[in-house]
Amino acid sequence: MRLIQLNLWYGRLIMNAVRFLEKAPPDILCLQEVMSNPDCEGFNFNNLEKLKRDLGYTYDFYSPTVDFTTGDTTTFFGNAILSRQPIEPVKTVFTYGAYRSHFSFKNRDALPWNFQHAVIGGANIINHHGFWFDGDKIGNDETLRQMGMVADYIAPLSGPVIFTGDLNLWPEAASLKPFQTTMRDLVAEYGFTTTRNFTSFKPVEICDYVFVNDKVKVNDFKVHDTVVSDHAMLELDYA
């Protein structure tokens, strides 16, 4: 199985992502900052629909955090998992706030955050967009609380577990310790030094991750340098 993790960066480079992925679409796509609006073809408000259509995905699990008005239509924004195999959408858990309608991104501090739990091919897939606050990514009491929620949720799960996402934290952040001590951190294990690129305000930093437990057999792991967002694509080949 091949899984790719990617923060879409509001879909600003969505066609770059499509061109790269259509060469060899992965079995599973774990995405953050995904917009969905089947009534609006323009301005990248329908990224979920584009990816499903252009890459031929049959199954999706979408967990929006907010919606906002786009002309006379409504656009949704959040996390998504796309798959070629059936998805069992187990749960969406909000780690901060709750779903908000008619949201204004002028008030980004009020943006809710969630994670998704799906089962695909017998594996537990946890897809999360970590809490963002203005400043560095060393974390604070709020990231400790939220990541603690994720760790407590994952701990009792049985079978293979893959935890992935843009976590908005540097590797040295205390908020990541529960995962680094109980799971394999593949970005660190494979020696990558950044998950960003030149389009980012900080081109060299790690803030995207794939963690796996000991029930996942890792065949290969890559961080791609093809620019499809201000975040790199992380690719896991596993059994």
Task: Write out pLDDT tens, residues 122-164.
Answer: 999 999 999 999 889 999 999 999 999 999 999 999 999 999 9
Task: Flag whether pLDDT at 43 surpasses 80.
Answer: no
Average pLDDT, the chain: 96
Spatial separation of the C-alpha atoms in residues 37 and 74, rounded to whole Å: 7
Task: Flag whether pLDDT at 42 surpasses 80.
Answer: no
pLDDT at position 12 is 86
Considering its fold, how many domains does the chain have in total?
A: 1
Average pLDDT over residues 228-239: 97
Q: Which range has the worst mean pLDDT, 93-97, 129-133, 170-174, 199-203?
A: 199-203
Spatial separation of the C-alpha atoms in residues 106 and 185, rounded to whole Å: 34
Spatial separation of the C-alpha atoms in residues 190 and 118, rounded to whole Å: 26
Per the DSSP assignment, residues forming a β-bridge with 32 are 7
Going by pLDDT thresholds of 50, 70 and 90, the confidence category of residue 21 is very high
The parent domain of residue 168 ranges over 2-238
CATH code (residue 113)? 3.60.10.10
- Number of CB atoms found within 10 A of residue 42's CB: 9
